[in-house]
Structure 1
């Protein structure tokens, strides 16, 4: 079986969530992929988990790690991009459990000259905690009836879990949400990401994924919207790394990228 897709999963000291995510990938209908974990400085518990799961799952895991130096997700993502062994890269996070057809949908819609934009379905903390390996294997955590039984409220957003076929395609088409590069659910060609020099490593929390997508647009890559087709559920967590200074700095970088139609960053994979 030829591996043709690399899945980059970002994580930082969240082994409980990462375990659920990696179990999700062990249930995929499309299996021709490797997992590349972009680890922003996790401790021993994460190392032990990855070693344990490497002996249980069908796919190969690369664990790309650097020392903890605060929120440096852009840096570790660039290292993970370089480590990917295939031509196509799917990116998600270590708190997003993929539905069984998640990778299949990205592979189905991939096309030269495009990147793919997906979304996520946010779960509250109580449900995030109670999901077991069995619930993931049996697909219960994607079942609206099961989720409602455990307290999920009715919402139009529930269509992300229930839509399929024509309805999913229609909702992908009419959604007002931009088909941007979303770090939790996006994919594209490695050669395109390398051509724009990957992520801007000046950027910490807040929009570094969007800025990558904006440079891909400037490079001439278009996007496809599949938020109702490629489904992952997002496990709740605190965001202690979120701060306004970082967000403001990143907004300024994004403004320059748009106004100057920048394709390349001098602060990416290749440094001046």
Structure 2
């Protein structure tokens, strides 16, 4: 297979269902879906079962017991169970546009990882999106979003279908080309080279920390935030903790200062 899409989730069945529906209409079909499930109930497994058989390859459901926020660990487990050499990472609250996978494959390049973004929706619009809106891609149309009550703003330019405008915006945007957990991709060997995600980190910067170690290893990144489009469905973040975020920032500062490439508390622990 050309690519593995690794999707993180935790007890967000309705959002995950909408996201998986988005992957059933991708223009590129030679990919597998790997669900990195951080301890959800059986309801998530039921949603996944509904989509088995709708993709070229069986959905891989990687699950561990709910012991708090352990996204780094479940992602490392998902990486080890993925079947492709190229991995696309996103979240179970991000509906992909139909060319999402195709863009990541088109832009992949040795020595680089790809840095994408998202278009964030308010809760009212997130809840109003129907299956048909995803299947016919209406929810990605600016006119449709405005009709639903979204206020006009410059961020709507992210939803452009003009590849030349998208390329220009990717070039001029001041946004850093960081590793973003909702929309980034890279070669599996490059992720393994830095020992995967840092399991010493909780919510807040753990995705970017992976990318920073990849930079320390000599890699570069490409901006695709105006090319690889996904809609971010609204939700609460009850797992955010100021002290843990502060701890994560200290790890990132240390790694940057000392040019750390491989961390001890990473994917190698799972291979034993």
Contiguous gaps of at least 5 residues in structure 1: none
TM-score normalized by the length of structure 2:
0.97
Residues 90 and 182, structure 2, Cα contact 8 Å, conserved in 1: yes
Counterpart of 1:42 in structure 2 is 40
Counterpart of 2:12 in structure 1 is 14
Counterpart of 1:96 in structure 2 is 94
Q: Shift in Å at residue 55 of structure 1? A: 3.5
Residues 9 and 94, structure 1, Cα contact 8 Å, conserved in 2: yes
Counterpart of 2:108 in structure 1 is 110
TM-score normalized by the length of structure 1:
0.97
Contiguous gaps of at least 5 residues in structure 2: none
Q: Shift in Å at residue 113 of structure 1? A: 0.5
Residues 6 and 86, structure 1, Cα contact 8 Å, conserved in 2: yes
Q: Shift in Å at residue 246 of structure 1? A: 1.1
Q: Shift in Å at residue 60 of structure 1? A: 2.4
Give the alignment's Cα RMSD to 1 decimal.
Answer: 1.0
Distance in 2 between residues matched to 1:121 and 1:244, nearest whole Å: 25
Distance in 2 between residues matched to 1:41 and 1:136, nearest whole Å: 27
Counterpart of 2:83 in structure 1 is 85
Counterpart of 2:60 in structure 1 is 62
Q: Shift in Å at residue 57 of structure 1? A: 4.1
Counterpart of 1:199 in structure 2 is 197
Distance in 1 between residues matched to 2:215 and 2:182, nearest whole Å: 19
Residues 32 and 55, structure 2, Cα contact 8 Å, conserved in 1: no
Describe the SS at the equivalent of 1:42. coil
Counterpart of 2:226 in structure 1 is 228
Structure 1 consecutive aligned stretches of length 4 or more whose deviation exceeds 4 Å: none
Residues 3 and 84, structure 2, Cα contact 8 Å, conserved in 1: yes
Counterpart of 2:30 in structure 1 is 32
Deviations 1:47-106 (A, max 9, x none): 111111114444421000000001100000000011111110000000000000001110
Judged with a 3 Å threshold, the aligned counterparts in structure 2 of structure 1 residues 59 and 135 are, in CA distance, closer, same or farther, namely farther
Matched pairs, number: 270
